[in-house]
């Protein structure tokens, strides 16, 4: 492990966040770190975990706790999946390849984003673990069907449909920093925003040696393949997923389908009725509609609504292994983590992602031992206290 991300310099995810802020241009860091509008939901995703307290069983010798679990039939070393993050190659030149390698080494899965900078086939070659493909309908149905076919042929085991992006959220940091201009504007529109890039010469050198702005290698629009990198708002403008789309998607994809972006019991039941194998309780990391429920608060309602019919996962605000434990106690089968590993990627590529996963896994191991629980499979709500109004709708 490089000294830059090893203890004592880095002992938690917040340490990785601070290092990432030092190493990335402001526009890239704020793209990763920011949320929508006033960022209320972004903050509450983390703060809501503080409303949950533990009820440990004392005088119990647990020795080495078993964190293993199964998600969609694949055994993973602890209940975490790396969430899809777009433009990962801007965060670090090794991008999805580094993330896939770190996930496989840690024994967990990884969901690769539509807005990935590396080809699905190359990411698959870099991984020996379970891989999912997160699909946006960017470029229309024909482009989406081509992406589904590539993911199927490459051996991806699940398709993730993100349903909470009929339009892109208002990400004010991106507007102030010139994300749209830097990705797709003219040279004259870029000029006011270039100093922030020159302020991070190490990142800029790596970016230029990597060839500059990467293309969207997995979006094959007829006459324009691969699609150029675009501002996320432009890319999502015609990428709305509806329940009706699941019909033709199921015909194209024979494997498991995961619906990501569910916050209510009604939508959870609808996803189960439409044949989803799993849902992700998610508010897009606070990056879409601001002032929605933090995901850990929405989780009990969704778990009660599906009543074991399909698997329930969650993301949003996970910064410690104890957060993962709380989510499992409330009924999640596993969590998806995003910013936590991306901060590590920004700091040290694959080694940084590995360090983030090590922190979370060690945290979880220690939390189970202190709770007097020998295995992640035995975690349940008897080990926590939480506000019971979270269950008022089901």
Residues annotated as catalytic are 284
Which residue, among 285, 352, 296, 289, has the nearest Cα to 84 in the 3D structure? 285
Under 8 Å between Cβ of 267 and 203: no
What's the gap between Cα 142 and its chain centre?
A: 26
**Spatial CB neighbours of 41, under 8 Å, sequence gap ≥ 6:** 35, 283, 286, 289, 290, 291, 292, 294
**Spatial CB neighbours of 43, under 8 Å, sequence gap ≥ 6:** 35, 286
Cα–Cα distance measured from residue 326 to residue 384, given in angstroms and rounded to the nearest whole number: 7
Which residue, among 183, 190, 194, has the nearest Cα to 87 in the 3D structure? 183
Helices (H), the chain: 13-23, 26-33, 40-47, 88-91, 95-106, 120-125, 141-154, 172-177, 179-184, 187-190, 195-198, 201-209, 232-236, 245-252, 265-273, 295-306, 321-329, 339-371
């Amino acid at each position: 492990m490089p000294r830059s991300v090893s203890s004592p310099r880095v002992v938690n995810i917040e340490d990785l966040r601070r290092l990432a802020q030092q190493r990335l241009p402001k526009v890239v860091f704020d793209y990763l770190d920011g949320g929508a509008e006033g960022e209320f939901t972004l903050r509450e995703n983390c703060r809501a975990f503080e409303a949950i307290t533990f009820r440990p069983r004392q005088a119990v010798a647990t020795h080495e706790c078993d964190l293993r679990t199964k998600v969609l039939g694949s055994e993973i070393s602890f209940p975490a999946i790396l969430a899809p993050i777009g433009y990962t190659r801007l965060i670090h030149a090794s991008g999805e390849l580094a993330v896939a390698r770190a996930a496989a080494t840690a024994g967990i899965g990884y969901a690769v984003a539509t807005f990935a900078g590396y080809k699905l086939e190359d990411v698959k070659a870099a991984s020996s673990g379970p891989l999912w493909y997160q699909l946006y309908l960017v470029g229309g149905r024909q482009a989406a069907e081509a992406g589904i076919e590539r993911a199927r042929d490459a051996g991806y085991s699940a398709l993730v449909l993100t349903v909470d992006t009929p339009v892109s959220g208002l990400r004010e940091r991106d507007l102030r920093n010139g994300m749209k201009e830097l990705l797709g504007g003219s040279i004259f529109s870029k000029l006011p925003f270039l100093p922030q890039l020159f302020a991070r010469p190490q990142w800029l050198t790596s970016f230029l040696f990597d060839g500059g702005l990467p293309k969207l290698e997995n979006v094959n629009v007829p006459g324009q393949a691969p699609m150029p990198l675009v501002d996320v708002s432009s890319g999502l403008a015609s990428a709305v997923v509806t329940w009706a789309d699941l019909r033709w998607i199921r015909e194209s994809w024979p494997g498991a389908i995961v619906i990501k972006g569910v916050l209510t019991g009604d939508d959870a039941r609808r996803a189960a009725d439409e044949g989803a194998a799993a849902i992700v309780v998610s508010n897009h990391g606070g990056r879409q509609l601001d002032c929605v429920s933090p995901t850990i608060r929405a989780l009990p309602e969704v778990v009660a609504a599906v009543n074991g019919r399909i698997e329930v996962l969650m993301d949003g605000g996970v910064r410690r292994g104890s957060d993962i434990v709380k989510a499992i106690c409330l009924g999640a089968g596993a969590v998806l983590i995003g910013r936590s590993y991306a901060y590590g990627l920004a700091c040290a590529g694959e080694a940084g992602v590995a360090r983030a996963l090590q922190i979370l896994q060690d945290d979880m191991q220690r939390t189970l031992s202190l709770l007097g629980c020998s295995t992640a499979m035995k975690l349940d709500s008897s080990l926590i206290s939480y506000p019971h109004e979270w269950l008022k709708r089901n």
